[in-house]
Amino acid sequence: MAEAITHSYLENTGKYKGILAWLTTTDHKRIGLMYMYAMMVFFIVGVLLGELMRLELFRPGQQFYNAQTYNGIFTIHGIIMIFTVVIPGLAAVFGNFSMPIMIGAHDVAFPRLNLFSWYLFILGAAIALSSQFLGNGPPDTGWTFYAPYSTQTHTNVVAAVFGAFVLGFSSILTGLNFIVTIHRLRAPGMTFFRMPLFPWSLYATAWIQVLATPIVGITLLMVIAERWLRIGFFDPSLGGDPILYQHLFWIYSHPAVYIMILPAMGVITEIIPTFAQRRVFGYKAIALSSLAIALVGYFVWAHHMYTSGMSITARWVFSLLTFLVAVPSAIKVFNWVTTMYKGSISVKPPFLFALGFIFLFMIGGLTGLSLGSLATDIHVHDTAYVVAHFHYIIFGGVGFAFFAALHYWYPKMYGRMYNFRRANMAFGFLFVGFNLLYFPQFVIGIMGMPRRYFDYLPQFTLGQQISAVGGLLLLIGIIIMLANLFSKKGAKAPDNPWGGSTLEWTVPSPPPVENFDEIPVITGEPYNYE
Amino acid sequence: MTHTESHITDYRVYGWVLLALLILTTITITVTWIDLSALTVLVALIIASVKSFIVLRYFMHLKFESRLFTVFVVMVLSIYILVIALTFFDYLLR
Ligand code: HEM
Ligand SMILES: [Cu+2]
């Protein structure tokens, strides 16, 4: 093996060249990059669809296209962003790229299964997208596929639902792979409590992927069965119960938001200590709060159903449970802030994005509490307030954490640096644009602007137009950021550009094929700066 | 990681397990002829649980592997049971 080690993973050493070498690779780092490229394409398509909606909403009444087209656009926008961007998200990209190196392994436990997961991901995405072009037109149910409408509409729901089903399997297999990897392949001496916190968060995430995803899988198949075979699961006219659909859907989809956010929190927990050059405060509390979030997160799903006609008791019980899950999330925020206290902070782009994450995640989280509280939610459910809340969490949280992770590990991935000034500028546009885009949605939501509506009353015009300006700034920010990272080669990156203390900074940039010449022996904790 | 130990089960054990499963299946079918009214589902579920227990222990090797796997299975089952319980608790109180 001693020879192969000298080659970086970006050079082709196998029997194939060019793109084929990538499509047949089992190297976790290459697979991570392949996820990233695919997701970036999906993300850009999703963003453009979002801008199309903003354009239509610029003024009340119909501007450019009709209501049914709008229904189709918000549905596919949601499907793309949720199922193909943020659910695989940071775990598939940075979990694959960094986690095996951070725990001192040559690769994941099942490298071929890992590649297979990527193919399932592409296949599922292709099936979901085919819904736009085949059958009776694009689905118009929203990404939530609520029954009984989803079992009755004539649009092409089956393709979208089946695509989501296949994507789910990709997610399950990645989760399985990571659980086994973290149990079996840690470097000698690396006990669970000497493991860095990003792998910890992936471990908690992986359990959710394995345990929750099958439920949505079977639920989506039930929708197809009801459409094709007229089996009455959800449609009351067939003897079914529509609320059963909502239970089953959210039993998965609430834990799914933790599939998205836990790895994001994990990345932030890596970045803060590195740029504050301080030991992370409350290591164990952060590690265990990931598990606590994963566990409690299973039992709060019905806070999406306060207005659906559940029993009164179920409503307040779920409201109570929802407040519990805020505790471990808050623990993390306090620990990040305390880690920075008295640190020697250097404000580089990854750190800026991490700060942006904390700010936006807190707005998203606190507004989540007002939604979790039964009495307030009755008023703002299904309004633009909800749209603002989940964009703050998903885009402000997961999205900004993704950008932070990208700027953090970019030098390791490509062995190159990028232009800091332009990265900071991109951050400025993204941060200002984001808040301009989504903050007004809180306001008009409280004023009564319903969600998933193509038209609105004149009093919402100002809010919608501020949002449109924000959307434009955000788009500019995304373009600057991507151009800065991917348009030309930067200077050569050192092995450890940020002074990080975890294992990925001890290997060359870009890392060699099997990561380590010799697996290191771990003798202490991961973050020792003092 | 390399396999440090492996367990080889006697074929006779598998034979007994098969027999037990067949007998339990026969019982499942037989009780459907008896009218247990509200208890029908419960009885079917109990028999099925016994069968899965046997399958998990012998065919899926829980008996011979590290304790950790048993912990995992118990944990997963408890989450599953809690989720079902919470769902039905809404139905019962509606
Ligand atoms: C420039 C970026 C974006 C813009 C302009 C945008 C805009 C919008 C708009 C206008 C809606 C429709 C609200 C309604 O009428 O109910 C929406 C819905 C949604 N967006 Fe975004 N969005 C963007 C990025 C994202 C990102 C990054 C994600 C996820 C990571 C995301 C996830 C969602 C989801 C899940 C919905 C709900 C879809 C549904 O109701 O079925 N969006 N977005
Ligand atoms: Cu939720």
Cβ separation B83–A298 shorter than 8 A:
yes
Nearest atom in ligand 1 to A453's CA: 15
Convert the pLDDT of each residue in A418-431 to its tens digit.
999 999 999 999 99
* % pLDDT > 70, chain A: 99
pLDDT classification of A215: cutoffs 50, 70, 90: very high
What is the H or E stretch that residue B15 is in?
helix B11-31
Q: Cis (ω within 30 of 0) for the bond into A111?
A: no
The whole-number average pLDDT for the span A72-90 is 96
Q: Chain A residues with CB inside 8 Å of B92's CB?
A: 311
Residues B16, B44: one domain? yes
Cβ-defined contact of B86 to A184 (cutoff 8 Å): no
Compare CB distances from B90 to A183, A298, A314 and report the shortest one's residue.
A314
Q: Is A197 in the pocket of ligand 1 (CB under 6 A)?
A: no
CA A78–ligand 2 middle distance (angstroms): 16
Least-confidence region, from A1-10, A18-27, A58-67, B45-54: A1-10
Task: Encode burial over A257-270: b for 16+ CB neighbours within 10 A, e otherwise.
Answer: bbbbbbbbbbbbbb
Q: Which ligand is nearest to the CA of A257?
A: 2
Q: Are B21 and B35 found together in one domain?
A: yes
pLDDT at A495 over 60: yes
- Could B82 and A310 be called an inter-chain contact, meaning their C-beta atoms sit closer than 8 Å? no
Q: What is the distance between the alpha carbons of residues A259 and A212, in angstroms, rounded to a whole number?
A: 10
Task: Please check whether residues B27 and B58 belong to one and the same domain.
Answer: yes
Ion ligand 2 nearby residues (CB, 5 A): A 254
Rounded CA gap, A51 and A72, in Å? 14
Query: Which domains occur in chain A, in start order?
Result: 4-506 (1.20.210.10)
Look at ligand 1, atom 35, and give the residue with the nearest C-alpha.
Answer: A78
Helix (H), strand (E) at residue A51: helix A28-56
Task: Give the model confidence (pLDDT) of A333-366 as tens digits.
Answer: 999 999 999 889 999 999 999 999 999 999 999 9
> Is the distance from CB of A248 to CB of A216 less than 8 angstroms?
yes
Dihedral sign, Cα of residue A427, residue A433, residue A438, residue A439: positive
Q: Identify the residue whose C-alpha is closest to ligand 1 atom 43.
A: A50
Is A185 in the B-facing interface, judged by CB distances under 8 Å?
A: yes
> What is the domain count for chain B?
2
Amino acid symbol at A502: T
Same domain, B28 and B47: yes
> Do B70 and B54 have their domain in common?
no
Distance, CA A74 to ligand 1 centroid (Å)? 7
B71 and B48 together in one domain:
no
Residue A340, Ramachandran bin (φ over 0: left; ψ between -120 and 50: alpha; else beta): alpha
Output the six-digit token pair for A156: 């092409």
Give the separation between CA A451 and CA A365, rounded to whole angstroms: 19
Query: Ligand 1 atom 23: the closest Cα is on which residue?
Result: A50
CA-angle at A109, arms to A215 and A297, nearest 5°: 35
Residue range(s) defining the domain that contains residue B79: 66-94
Q: Is residue B80 domain-shared with residue B37, that is, in the same domain?
A: no
H or E element in which residue A49 lies: helix A28-56
- Nearest-Cα residue of chain A relative to residue B76: A211
Question: What residues of A are in contact with residue B93 (Cβ under 8 Å)?
Answer: 311-314
Segment holding A440, helix H or strand E: helix A420-447
| Interface size between A and B, measured as CB pairs under 8 A | 39
Closest CB from A184, A251, A317 relative to B83: A251
For residue A3, the model assigns a pLDDT of 45
Segment A33-54, tens digit of pLDDT: 999 999 999 999 999 999 999 9
Same-domain pairing of B58 and B80: no
Q: What tens digit of pLDDT does each residue of B2-40 get?
A: 445 566 778 888 899 999 999 999 999 988 888 877 888
Q: Is the CB of A387 under 6 A from ligand 1?
A: yes
Number of CB atoms found within 10 A of residue A86's CB? 26
Could A310 and B83 be called an inter-chain contact, meaning their C-beta atoms sit closer than 8 Å?
A: no
Please judge whether A251 and B82 are an interchain contact, meaning their C-beta atoms are less than 8 angstroms apart: no
If you average pLDDT over residues B32-50, what whole number do you get? 86
The reply to whether ligand 1 has any atom less than 6 angstroms from the CB of A78 is yes
- Domain check: are B31 and B70 in the same one? no
Ligand closest to A318 (CA) is 2
Q: Structure pTM?
A: 0.91
Q: What is the pLDDT of residues A150-166, one digit of tens each?
A: 999 999 999 999 999 99
- Contact: B93, A311; criterion CB under 8 Å: yes
CA distance A280 to chain B (A): 29
Set of chain B residues whose Cβ sits within 8 Å of the Cβ of A312 = 93
Cross-chain Cβ contact B1/A211 below 8 Å: no
> In the block, which residue shows the tokens 């998990």?
B56
Q: Cα separations (Å) of A331 from A91, A244, A273, A355? A: 22, 34, 16, 16
Please state whether the peptide bond connecting residue A60 to the residue before it is cis, i.e. omega within 30 degrees of 0.
no
Q: Based on the fold, state whether residues B54 and B78 are members of the same structural domain.
A: no
Q: Which ranges of A277-399 does DSSP label H, i.e. alpha helix?
A: 283-296, 312-340, 349-372, 374-380, 384-391
* Chain-chain contact of A251 with B87 (C-beta, under 8 angstroms): yes
What integer best gives the mean pLDDT of chain A?
94
Closest Cβ opposite residue A310 in set B76, B82, B90: B90
Return the structure tokens found at A371. Answer: 């939604």
Q: Of the ligands numbered here, which is closest to the C-alpha atom of A51?
A: 1
Residues B76 and B50 in one domain: no
Q: How far apart are CA A414 and CA A402, in angstroms?
A: 17
- Verify that B53 and B74 share a domain, yes or no: no
